[in-house]
Structure 1
Amino acid sequence: MSSLLSLPLALLLHAAPAATPEPVLFAPGVVSTGHEEFGITFSPDGRTVVFNRADPTRFKFQLLMVSHWRDGRWTAPEVLPFSGRYRDIDPAFTPDGRRLFFASVRPQSSGEAVHADFDVWFVERTDKGWGTPRLAEGLNTPEAETNTSVTREGAVYVTRSPKDGKRRIYRHAPQGAGWGPGEPLPEVINSGHGDGNHFVDAEERYLVFSSQRPGGMAPEAYDLYVSERKDGHWGMPRNLGPAINRLDGGLTPTVVPARGSLVYAQRRPFLSEMPERPLTTKEFATRLESPGNGNGDFYEVQLTAVGLPTPGR
């Protein structure tokens, strides 16, 4: 696989977008709701979406849900048949859509109730449905592994959280039927400021990830950045700009080629300013139960609006 980029692609990745776009809620009231949602992935045709929904605390319990595009709308989400008992997070389809990676604390032996930390698992998807989850041997360590993203050649990028608390991104090359040892990405990516929560282009042309590195736009949250890979080397990351990295920054980005868009999670505050008049009982209840209530929701923006290449470029 060549890592060389065309001039138009390089210009897109290095240049700030010409205009500040306004991201829109993805599937409001169906996928993006008043509940806590984060972590999202799409099948290659863009017609199946798998995502996380969590308990109100965000950290006690999470499961994987699926929705399908049918008859011009997204179906009511359902818990995936292999989820719903243990904490399952951060789903990621492979580029061919035949396998779904996710992180889980589910038991790894008959003597465990739950595992001590998150590790990477995967499940096969066929025309007959979902298989049985399998531990992704070779991708896991005594540290916590969460987000994954997979290239067309089968390399897996993993977010790993060492005991020092400095989240980093590792690349595991395909090796035999599994993967080789993880290699940390260079310091230009792994800055020591919580870098992770990533998406890698199927051809490894660019990487979108979250970071708390100095100079971000979300003071106490994570900004989304993009880095270009050229001649086998990762370039200086570019902040995706104020349309994405405002308020509480962005999390769990994924590029959806079939939709020509970037979808990411964001927790927007319940109120950014005081209302002009008192809220009624009904208005307050509606806001509490709707997207934008402080819990995580999904937002979508076109790739060209944030300087990312459209499919085929």
Structure 2
Amino acid sequence: MKNINIIIILFGCICFGQQNVKVSPAFSILNEFDKVRDFTINQSGDEAYFSIQSQTENISVICKSVKNTKEWGTPTIASFSGKHKDLEPFLSPDGLRLYFVSDRQLSDTISGSKDFDIWFVERENPSKEWSKPKNIGAPINTEHNEFYPAIAANGNLYFTSDNPKAIGRDDIFFSEFSNNSYRAPISLSENINSEGFEYNAYISKDESYLLFGGYNREDGQGSGDIYISYKNGDAWSKATPLPKAINSKFMDYCPFVDETTNTLYFTSRRTKGANKDFKNLGALQNFLHSYENGNSRIYKASIDLKQ
């Protein structure tokens, strides 16, 4: 198994090295908002969801944008969001369910907020409205926090939790979908999880690879980096960081892959020109209103992550 993992890691590095990976801003129409993070898109590439947050992140709303011909339309608040702290949307591969995270109470009759749970909305077809939000329930949701759901084509669920069963502070957990229900979640192996923070998993539709965020790891660029692990049978290879063009010395997180176009979307707090000596207020304003100003923004890169 060790030799197999080494081969997989080396192959991944060679594969990435042969690709001319360029990172660019994904959505200039979102530049007016303080913080934008998380991203999910349907298979036809014309319906996208993301989180828009206030500067302090105490307000977080899930919004959507629809693509008309070649242009993305002005964002609107999703029908199920806007009242609670909602974030981290993820469309199921068939586009008929959207999973997300919320601190809303289990009943509208209860005021205030609770710990973060995983919720979902459903629709009969892409032209229909979303249902009312439904809590995914046990054994996924607990009295602890559950974050960042990601669903494979077979229904298997990957998510982040600070459950005491975690190896570290936050872990990536896995729950098998069997007989139309979820089995008790398990923390993934130390090839993925560590004593630190692992978060924001993306699972490929066929479960052949897993992307996730790792914080301040020795092999990272600093702060948060995005890692990849490949599945070999029932085991996951030792995770390795994505190329430096994607990972930076700033916080890079929240990966999502449009597998139809081999486009990686991710959130970053990268900053360009922060060390400038601003001579006037106009120069400062230009920087503060720029895309790479240190606030969370969504970026994209063309990269083939398959083995």
What's the TM-score once normalised by structure 1's chain length?
0.87
Deviation of 1:111 after TM superposition, in Å, equals 5.1
Amino acid at match of 2:245: A
SS at structure 1 position matched to 2:155: coil
Bigger mean CA offset, 161-170 vs 243-252: 161-170
Unaligned segments of structure 2, at least 5 residues: none
Bigger mean CA offset, 108-117 vs 128-137: 108-117
Amino acid at match of 1:201: S
8 Å CA contact 1:216–1:223 kept in 2: the answer is no
Deviation of 1:184 after TM superposition, in Å, equals 1.1
Pair 1:106–1:196, CA change in 2 (3 A): same
8 Å CA contact 1:173–1:180 kept in 2: the answer is yes
8 Å CA contact 1:37–1:296 kept in 2: the answer is yes
Amino acid at match of 2:270: R
SS at structure 1 position matched to 2:286: helix
Pair 1:112–1:197, CA change in 2 (3 A): same
Cα deviations by residue, 1:231-271 (Å, 9 ceiling, x for unpaired) = 11100111102111113131100001233210000012364
Correspondence 1:207-246 to 2 at 5 A: 207-212=210-215, 214-219=217-222, 221-246=223-248
Cα deviations by residue, 1:15-47 (Å, 9 ceiling, x for unpaired) = 34235633000021x135452011111111111
Pair 1:95–1:173, CA change in 2 (3 A): same
Correspondence 1:119-138 to 2 at 5 A: 119-125=117-123, 126=125, 127-138=127-138
Distance 1:230 1:152 in 2: 18
Report what 1:56 is aligned to: 55
Distance 2:221 2:33 in 1: 22
8 Å CA contact 2:31–2:289 kept in 1: the answer is no
Distance 1:210 1:152 in 2: 22
Report what 1:188 is aligned to: 191
8 Å CA contact 1:34–1:293 kept in 2: the answer is no
Amino acid at match of 2:170: R
What's the TM-score once normalised by structure 2's chain length?
0.89
Cα deviations by residue, 1:139-178 (Å, 9 ceiling, x for unpaired) = 2011100101001110110110236871001111113333
Report what 1:297 is aligned to: 297
Pair 1:77–1:71, CA change in 2 (3 A): same
Instruction: Identify the match of residue 252 of structure 1 among 245, 251, 254.
Output: 254
How many aligned residue pairs are there?
Answer: 296
Report what 2:92 is aligned to: 94
Q: Percent identity?
A: 24
CA RMSD across the alignment: 2.3
Q: Which runs of 4+ in 1 moved over 6 A?
A: 8-11
Deviation of 1:288 after TM superposition, in Å, equals 1.9
Per chain length, whose mean CA-contact separation is higher, i.e. which structure has more relative contact order (CA < 8 Å, sep 6+)?
Answer: 1
Report what 2:110 is aligned to: 112
Cα deviations by residue, 1:162-197 (Å, 9 ceiling, x for unpaired) = 368710011111133331110111111111220121
Report what 1:142 is aligned to: 143
Bigger mean CA offset, 162-171 vs 178-187: 162-171
